[in-house]
Structure 1
C-alpha cells in the first residue's frame, strides 16, 4: 500500500558546524566543506530485489521468477522480496494484491505450493533469502475472518470500516485490541516460515499496526528461524527498529532524490536527509535505499523521474553507494520506460535492454567488492551546484564518488585533498591522476578508489 511519507516529513534544523568556504569555479581558495560528521554504516550486507509477480507472466509466476535467479545473482542480490502472493479478495476489490482473502492460500495464477517451495529452495542454493510481503493492517471484505466481527474496527453503528483516513475502500480494518485476531495473525505468519522455509517478511504499512504486536510476532518468528530471520518494515520512523525490525524504508531519501533531479531541492538536502534518517538507527540495523519501488513506479518510471536512462542510473549510483541497503525494483534494471501499475499483469521482456542491465551489474560489482561502500564512514562535500560529491572510507579503503545530477555539462573542483592524486576508476579499472577541475557530462558519474 502507498503511504505519502513525503507529506509526513518532519522539519528539522541541522546542527550548525564550523563552516569553511567551498572552492567554487569562480575562484575561492579553500577546501570543499565537509557538511556533516562521519557516519559509519554497520550491519548485514543486504542487496534486495523487489519482485512484483504481475510483471513476469500470467501463469506459473514462481517458475518464471526462478528462471531469473541467475540474472539476479549477477546483480549480487541476496534478498528477494516478493509482493503479496496470497489469494486476492473479490468483494469491493479493485485488483490490489494487498487485498488479502486468505493468508494461507496462494494466488492460483502465480503457481502451486510445490512451485513456490522450489523457488525458495533454488534461491537458498544461491545464498539468497526470500521474504514475503505481509499485510497485517487489513483484509479483503470476503476474507473468512470477517465472520468474527470483533476482529475488525467498527464505527459507532457497529459497521466494519476501512482503515481510517487512507481511502482504501477495498479492504477492512483489523482491530488489534482483539487478542484472538492477533494470535491468528501470528499463526498465519508462522505458517509460511514452517511450511515453505522463507526467511522473513516485508511488512506493509508497519506503522498502521501496534508496535507491541510486532514485538510479539517477531519474537515468535525468531523462535522458529533464529537469527536468520529478516524483517523489513514499510515505514519511516526509527522506533520500528525497537520492535525488532532489521531494516526500515528510506522513504524521505528516495523522494528527496527525485526532488533533486527535478530541480526542487539541493545537493546539500540529500546529505541532510541521509543524516536525519540514520539518527537513532541501532548498530546492526539499516535503512533500505532505492530510486523506485512498486508505489513510485506506478506513478512514473525511473526514466521519467530522473530524465532518462543516464539520469536514472546516476541516481541509483547515489542511492546504492551513499549508505544503507540498496534495493532494485523489478523492471528498473532494464530501464522500463513508462509507469507500471501493480494492479494486474504486464509481462516484461527481461532481455529487452541487456546493455542497461550490464551497467547495473557493473555498479553492483563495484558496490559488493568495496568494503568502504558497504560499511565505511561517509564524508560529504558541500557543493552548491549540481554535482554531488562524497567519500566512503573504511580501514582499508577510500572511495570518492562524484555524480552530475543535471542534464547539463558541469565543472566542479575535486576535493583538494585528492587533486592530482592517483585513483583507480572502478567503472573501467583504469588508473588515472585526478584533476583539480573535473568536467562531467550530463548525468556522468565517477567512482574512484584512492
Structure 2
C-alpha cells in the first residue's frame, strides 16, 4: 500500500485492518458468490438467468453423464422428467453429451460431428428447452456442463465454406479429416482467428444457457496452449465458477486449467482385476501412480463405464459379473480416489451395450435395488472427507481389495471382494482387535484374524 501524504499515516492501520477483514472472508471453503461486472463491449451475448452459485468444489463432485438418447422421448424434456431421480442418487454435476446439430455430409451419426457450435440439435428440443433443463438442475442443486469437441467440425459446418483456412489442409489445399474420424474435418490451431471463434462459442453457452463448464472431448489431441488460452479467457467471466473436465491423460492439461482428467489406466486396471488378470495390489498401485502423475490441484474422473465403453465393451452387468459385481466395482471407483462418474443407464443395470449414435430407450424404473445401493454408496462418500482426499493405506490380499483412508480424525476402512465366490480375508495385524462401525448398517464389528466376504460383496466401515 502506498501512502502519498504523511497526513494520511494515522489512518493507515485502520485501512489495513479493513482490507484484512475483507480478504479474510475469501476462502476456498466458502460458497462461490458471483461477482457482478459492468457490461462491456465484448461482443458476448447477454447473460441469461442467474449464474449458479453452488457449483461444488472439485473433490466433492459426483458426476452423471447424460446420454439424452436413452431418456424418455430422447429429448431435453425427457431428461428434465428424470432430474429428481438423478439428484436423489447423490449427484451434484450433470454432463450433457453433445447438444449441437449433427452434420449430415460424410456423417456417421456421431454427436461429436458438430454442424454449428452455437446451435441446438432440434431432435432434442429448442434453446428454451435447454435453458429450462439447466434452470431446473440448478434449482435441484446440480451444476450442468456441456460436451465440447474442439478438434474438428462436421463437413457441412459453415466454417468449411466461409473459413477454409481454419482447417488443416494438405499440399493441394484439401481439408483433412481428424485422425481416423472420417465424419470430422480437422481444425487448424495455427490459425488464431479459428481459436478465437472456438473460444467465443464456448463463452456463448455460459452466457446464453447459463451452463457451468465443459467436458472437452479428445483433449490430448488439442494443443496445450489452446487450452490455456481458452480456459484463461473463460475464467475472466467472474460471474461464474466453471468446471473443466478433460478427456485426456496429460498432466499439462491440469496445469492449463482443467480440474479433472480421465482415469483411463484405472479403468483398464479395474476391468483386468474383475477379469482375473490383475491383482488387488496392482489396482491400488495403478490408482496411486495415476494420481501422482498429475499436479496436486487436479483430480481423476473414475468410472466403470461411460458412453464410449458402454458402446464398445457392453453393460456393466456383463463386464463385472452381474449386478452385485457391478456395484462392487463402482465402490472401488468411488472410494479409492478421484471423482466418481455414473453413466446414464448404469444405475438401473441396463443389460445391453448402448450405441450412443442411436436412440436406445432405457427403463429407468428397473432394478430399484441397484438404485438404492448407488444412493447408499454415494451417501457414505459424501459423509467422509477421508474418502475424497484422505491418505490411503493398503491391506489387500490375493482376492480382496482392502484399504484404509484417513483425513484428520476421519477414518474409513473399505473391503471389496472382486471374486464371484466366498472369500476369507486374512486380517492384517494392524487391524486385529480394532472395532469399527459398518457405514451401511450401523452395526459394530471387531476384527479378529479372519473375515469372510460373500461373492462380490463390499463393506465400508468408519471409526
Bin the TM-score by the shorter chain.
Answer: 0.7 to 0.9
Match status 1:162 vs 2:177? yes
Match of 1:24 in 2: none
Question: 1:129-166 CA deviation, whole Å, 9 max, x = no partner?
Answer: 100000000110100010121111112222111123xx
Aligned residue runs from structure 1 range 16-415, under 5 A: 44-59=59-74, 61-147=75-161, 148-164=163-179, 167-225=180-238, 228-299=241-312, 300-383=314-397, 385-415=398-428
Report the count of equivalent residues. 405
8 Å contact kept, 1:199–1:225:
no
Please give the secondary structure, in 1, of the residue aligned with 2:195.
helix
Structure 1 residue 391, shift from structure 2 partner: 0.6
Question: 1:207-251 CA deviation, whole Å, 9 max, x = no partner?
Answer: 111111111111111111566111000011111101110111111
Give ranges in structure 2 of 5+ residues lacking alignment.
Answer: 1-56
When the two chains are superposed, the root-mean-square deviation of aligned CA atoms in Å is 1.4
- Decide whether aligned partners of structure 1 residues 76 and 185 sit closer, same or farther in structure 2, where only a CA change above 3 A counts: same
Counterparts of 1:280 and 1:437 in 2: how far apart (Å)?
Answer: 35
8 Å contact kept, 1:411–1:439:
yes
Structure 1 residue 349, shift from structure 2 partner: 1.2
8 Å contact kept, 1:43–1:283:
no
Please give the secondary structure, in 1, of the residue aligned with 2:412.
strand
Counterparts of 1:168 and 1:321 in 2: how far apart (Å)?
Answer: 35
* TM-score calculated relative to the size of structure 2: 0.85
Q: 1:423 aligns with which of 436, 447, 455?
A: 436
Structure 1 residue 286, shift from structure 2 partner: 0.9
Which structure is larger by alpha-carbon Rg, 1 or 2?
Answer: 2
Give ranges in structure 1 of 5+ residues lacking alignment.
Answer: 1-41
Counterparts of 2:311 and 2:58 in 1: how far apart (Å)?
Answer: 31
8 Å contact kept, 1:51–1:82:
yes
- Decide whether aligned partners of structure 1 residues 226 and 416 sit closer, same or farther in structure 2, where only a CA change above 3 A counts: farther
Question: 1:319-364 CA deviation, whole Å, 9 max, x = no partner?
Answer: 1000111110001100111111101101111101111101111101
Please give the secondary structure, in 1, of the residue aligned with 2:230.
helix
Please give the secondary structure, in 1, of the residue aligned with 2:433.
coil
- Decide whether aligned partners of structure 1 residues 73 and 289 sit closer, same or farther in structure 2, where only a CA change above 3 A counts: same
Counterparts of 1:117 and 1:422 in 2: how far apart (Å)?
Answer: 50
Counterparts of 2:374 and 2:267 in 1: how far apart (Å)?
Answer: 18
Counterparts of 1:402 and 1:97 in 2: how far apart (Å)?
Answer: 39
Counterparts of 1:426 and 1:69 in 2: how far apart (Å)?
Answer: 27
Deviates more, 1:420-429 or 1:387-396: 420-429
Please give the secondary structure, in 1, of the residue aligned with 2:355.
coil
Structure 1 residue 282, shift from structure 2 partner: 2.7
Structure 1 residue 284, shift from structure 2 partner: 3.3
Question: 1:176-219 CA deviation, whole Å, 9 max, x = no partner?
Answer: 11111111111111100011110100000011111111111111
